[in-house]
Amino acid sequence: MDTKKTYKLIEKNTFTSCVPLISANRNELLADVEVGVANGCDFLEWRRDHFMPGEILTVADEQELLSEMKIRMPDQGLVYTFRSHCEGGAVETSDEIRAAAVMAAIKSNRVDYVDVELNNAAPFLTRIKEALKTSETQWIVSYHDFAKTPTTAEIWDIFTAMEEAGGDLLKLAVMPQSTDDVRRLMQATLTYNEKFSKAMIAIAMGAKGSITRIAPELCGGSLTFVAGAGKTAPGQLSLEEVVDLRKRMALI
């Protein structure tokens, strides 16, 4: 593998778009990469949990696919996510299989970020963090609540736990039940953003939280996930829709 890859970073308080890839097989994956690149996104996220469910790839197969993807990505960064079924993953997969896959991605020198959940078991996180020590790949430490929006104190505790775990970028996605929930997430994120030196992602899922996807940099975040071939969370808009709305808001 080429060890001279230039890594792409998500900048703090800067709008950044990312298209998730939920492709089921190799041909779909490579075709979806080309579509995402043509759409002009900044990052692509390979949702590995959607790929060939039930099949186990060898390290060589995993890394060959990542190389094939990067060949087709002249300017885009790559996020690798093998989502736990406990936080919205497509299928239930053992920690051993997921950890091996994530570590293969880190060692491939093709991945800018890996998204790994805060709530994974301690031994799982230890293995991932050890692999990251000898790589320039960065860690998006994530937390998802598909049922509710935590209290302000709970949001603060989650961000603190993420930072103390060693995450390079903090990601929190919650489900608002009211506009008060959206405001609470935005207020807590903006406050924490002032003390955390790196980029953050804060998403209020569903239609109520659309502002956090359209203008994340005004809400304490940076990266926004935009729908590609399919949606990976409630409320995702297409990149075309987001760009149009940002123009209407004079953000472009």
Q: Is the pLDDT of residue 140 over 90?
A: yes
Using an 8 Å Cβ cutoff, are 22 and 232 in contact?
A: yes
Instruction: Name the residue with tokens 């890394």.
Output: 63
Q: Which of 195-226 are b and which e, b meaning 16 or more Cβ less than 10 Å from the residue's Cβ? A: ebebbbbbbbbbebbbbbbbbbbebbbbbbbb
Residue 232: per-residue pLDDT: 64
pLDDT interval class at 1 (50, 70, 90): very low
Residue with tokens 């935005």: 186
Q: Which of 55-64, 120-129, 147-156, 228-237 has the lowest mean pLDDT?
A: 228-237
Q: pLDDT band at residue 38, thresholds of 50, 70 and 90?
A: very high
3-state secondary structure of 171: strand
Closest CA relative to residue 216, chosen from 208, 234, 204: 204
Across all residues in the chain, what is the average pLDDT?
Answer: 94
Catalytic residue numbers, as ranges: 144, 171
- Residue type, position 221, single letter: G
Element holding 115 (H helix, E strand):
strand 113-117
pLDDT tens digit sequence for 185-238: 999 999 999 999 999 999 999 999 999 999 999 999 999 999 876 656 677 899
Contact 117, 84 (CB under 8 A): yes
The stretch 7-19 carries a mean pLDDT of 96
> Are 83 and 45 spatial neighbours (Cβ–Cβ below 8 Å)?
no
Confidence of residue 54 (pLDDT cuts 50, 70, 90): confident
CA 53 to chain centre: 20
Instruction: Cite the DSSP H helix spans in 167-209.
Output: 179-195
Write the pLDDT tens digit of every residue in 162-180: 999 999 999 999 999 999 9
pLDDT band at 249 (very low <50, low <70, confident <90, very high): very high
The full DSSP string for 7-24 is PP-PPTT--EEEEEE--S
> What gap in Å lies between CA 47 and CA 80, rounded to an integer?
7
As a whole number of Å, the end-to-end CA separation of the chain is 38
Give the pLDDT confidence score for residue 4 in this predicted structure. 53
Distance CA 49, CA 89 (A): 6
> In 3-state terms, what secondary structure has residue 188?
helix
pLDDT at 236: 85
Residue 131 neighbours by CB distance under 10 Å: 19
pLDDT at 6 over 90: no
pTM of structure: 0.94
Classify the C-alpha dihedral 47-48-49-50 as positive or negative. Answer: positive
Give 146-161 pLDDT, tens digit per residue: 999 999 999 999 999 9
Q: What is the pLDDT of residue 227?
A: 87
* 3 pLDDT higher than 80: no
